[in-house]
Structure 1
Amino acid sequence: MKRNLYIWFVAVLLVGFALAQNAGDGIAAVFKQEEPLPTETGSRAGLLAPGFSLTAMDGKTYNVGGAKDKAIFVNFWASWCEPCKQEAPELNALAAKYKDKLDVYGVNVTSYDKLKDAKAFVDEYKLTFPILLDEDGATYAKYNGVAFPTNVLIDANGVIQEVILGILPEEELERKIKEVIKK
Structure 2
Amino acid sequence: MKVKLMAGIAGLLVSAGLIVGGWLIYQYVNDAASLEYVMSDHYGERMVDFTLEDISGQSTAVSATSGKPKLINFWTSWCPGCQNEAEDLNKIYANYKNNIEIISINVTANDSMEEASAFLDEYNVQMPSLFDQDGIVAAQYGITAIPTNYFIRADGTILKITYEISESSADPLIKELLEEVN
Q: CA deviation at 1:172?
A: 1.8
Q: CA–CA distance in 2 between the matches of 1:88 and 1:49?
A: 23
**Equivalent pairs: percent with the same residue?**
35
For residues 6-26 of structure 1, what are the alpha-carbon distances to aligned partners after superposition, in whole Å with 9 as ceiling and x for unaligned?
A: xxxxxxxxxxxxxxxxxxxxx
Q: CA–CA distance in 2 between the matches of 1:103 and 1:66?
A: 11
Q: CA deviation at 1:114?
A: 1.0
Match of 2:148 in 1: 150
Match of 1:137 in 2: 135
Match of 2:167 in 1: 170
Q: RMSD of aligned C-alpha atoms?
A: 1.4
Q: CA–CA distance in 2 between the matches of 1:71 and 1:58?
A: 25
Match of 1:92 in 2: 90
TM-score (norm 1): 0.73
2:54 alignment partner, one of 56, 70, 73: 56
Are the equivalent residues in 2 in contact too, given 1:48–1:65 (CA < 8 A)? no
Q: CA deviation at 1:167?
A: 1.4
Point out the structure with max Rg over C-alpha: 1
Q: CA–CA distance in 2 between the matches of 1:48 and 1:55?
A: 22
Q: CA deviation at 1:58?
A: 4.1
- Long gaps (5+) in structure 1: 1-42
Answering whether residue 80 of structure 2 is matched by residue 68 of structure 1, we say no
Are the equivalent residues in 1 in contact too, given 2:76–2:106 (CA < 8 A)? yes
Match of 1:77 in 2: 75
Q: CA–CA distance in 2 between the matches of 1:56 and 1:99?
A: 18
TM-score (norm 2): 0.73
Answering whether residue 174 of structure 2 is matched by residue 180 of structure 1, we say no
Stretch deviating more after TM superposition (154-163 or 56-65): 56-65
- Long gaps (5+) in structure 2: 1-40
Q: Secondary structure at 2:43's aligned position in 1?
A: coil
For residues 106-150 of structure 1, what are the alpha-carbon distances to aligned partners after superposition, in whole Å with 9 as ceiling and x for unaligned?
A: 100000001100000000011111110000000000010000001
Q: Secondary structure at 2:137's aligned position in 1?
A: helix
Q: Secondary structure at 1:67's aligned position in 2?
A: helix
For residues 56-113 of structure 1, what are the alpha-carbon distances to aligned partners after superposition, in whole Å with 9 as ceiling and x for unaligned?
A: 1243322223222421110000000001001011101111111111111110000000
- 1:59/1:113 CA distance change after superposition, 3 Å: same
Higher helix share: 2
Q: CA–CA distance in 2 between the matches of 1:134 and 1:167?
A: 19
